[in-house]
């Protein structure tokens, strides 16, 4: 199915601002009613991942991947888990390496193309929790890129249990997103990410003296600076541009074989023009691209009695329509 011609999302009064949509949920939204059970699993390379389960006893499971410097406790993850629990799904929000409140064991970390960790989570579910008859994937921003890349890389080899996926606010062209974030109007966001990433570097320095350092970190101002110095060499890429090129999910979209909804707001301050894969979706039988006029980055604020954001209801509606297995 091609482009979604008309989005149902309408921004509330006063919430047409991209920055307000982006910042408000992070600072002011409180999601109640989600109780996690944490499980730690080992990765094939000797690291670990912390998984947070929100369970209802269902036979349907949604696996949620957070964004850059996020975790399972972010309001957008909690809101999505709660929305699916209400509709008869279990939810699994996994924390990428070093994002669960404890540094990971290895020098390497997570990154936009690290699909092997999502694969480890899915493999764990399939091996150890046979009660699940249906799986679905949801990703936000960086986690959305990982989700889409995973589906495209594996293409027809994706588990038949995976019925569909939804990805919000995805920088599917990483170079384009990095250029957009480097612009002056995004300085407040860029500075925050660079500060949070610095904290991760310092934690690694304490655990692994001499193997990594932050000398001259005050010169790191953009994603190019950080990825060129840290992400690329730590994860086997030649440089930042090689990392962006090989890890961008846009090139993998043609190979996606399960119904997938991509939602990116037209006013997303983090996404450059190349992050809207209009031509790819227009001719794709499985990728649905929806571009609401508003929403900011991982925003899509709504005010209602249920406390649900539009993005949560939209994802649940899309995936529920694909599922025939009883709750």
The catalytic residues are 141, 268, 297
Choose among 195, 241, 198: nearest CA to 109. 198
Cross-strand bridge partners of residue 155? none
Report angle CA 35, 111, 193 to the nearest 5 degrees: 80
Residues forming a β-bridge with 37: 53
Coil vs helix vs strand at 37: strand
Token pair for 215? 């000398």
The candidate with the shortest Cα–Cα distance to 261, out of 96, 151, 142, is: 151
Q: How many residues does the chain have?
A: 327
d(CA 41, CA 103): 15
Q: Tell the burial category of 146 from Cβ atoms under 10 Å away from its Cβ (0-12, 13-18, 19+).
A: buried
State how far the Cα of 296 lies from the Cα of 270, in Å rounded to an integer.
8
* CA dist., res. 72 & res. 79, Å (int): 10
Tell me the C-alpha distance between 278 and 171, whole Å: 14
Which residues, other chains included, contact 206 with Cβ-Cβ below 8 Å and sequence gap of 6+? none
CA atoms within 13 A on the CB side of 232: 17
């Amino acid at each position: 199915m091609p482009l979604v011609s008309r989005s149902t999302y309408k921004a509330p009064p006063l919430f047409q601002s991209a920055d307000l949509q982006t910042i408000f949920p992070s600072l002011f939204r409180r999601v109640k009613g989600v109780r996690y059970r944490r499980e730690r699993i080992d990765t094939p390379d000797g690291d670990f991942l912390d998984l947070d389960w929100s369970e209802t006893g269902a036979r349907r499971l949604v696996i949620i991947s957070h964004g850059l410097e996020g975790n399972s406790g972010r309001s957008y993850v909690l809101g999505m888990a709660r929305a699916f629990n209400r509709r008869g799904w279990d939810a699994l929000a996994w924390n990428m390496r070093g994002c669960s409140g404890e540094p990971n064991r290895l020098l390497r970390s997570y990154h936009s193309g690290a699909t092997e960790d999502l694969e480890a989570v899915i493999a764990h579910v399939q091996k150890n929790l046979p009660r699940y008859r249906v799986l679905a994937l949801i990703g936000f921003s960086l986690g959305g890129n990982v989700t889409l890349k995973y589906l495209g890389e594996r293409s027809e080899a994706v588990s038949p249990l995976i019925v569909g996926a939804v990805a919000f606010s995805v920088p599917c062209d990483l170079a384009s997103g990095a250029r957009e974030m480097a612009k002056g109007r995004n300085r407040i966001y860029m500075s925050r990410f660079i500060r949070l990433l610095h904290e991760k570097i310092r934690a690694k320095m304490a655990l692994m003296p001499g193997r990594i350092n932050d000398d001259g970190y005050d010169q790191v101002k953009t994603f190019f600076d950080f990825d060129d110095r840290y992400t690329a060499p730590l994860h086997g890429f030649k440089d930042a541009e090689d990392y962006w090129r090989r890890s961008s999910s846009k090139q993998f979209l043609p190979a996606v074989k399960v119904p997938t909804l991509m939602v990116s707001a037209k006013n997303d301050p983090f996404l450059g023009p190349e992050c809207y894969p209009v031509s790819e979706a227009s001719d794709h039988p499985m990728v649905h691209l929806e571009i609401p006029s508003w929403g900011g980055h991982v925003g899509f604020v709504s005010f209602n009695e249920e406390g649900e954001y539009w993005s949560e209801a939209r994802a649940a509606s899309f995936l529920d329509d694909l599922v025939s297995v009883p709750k």
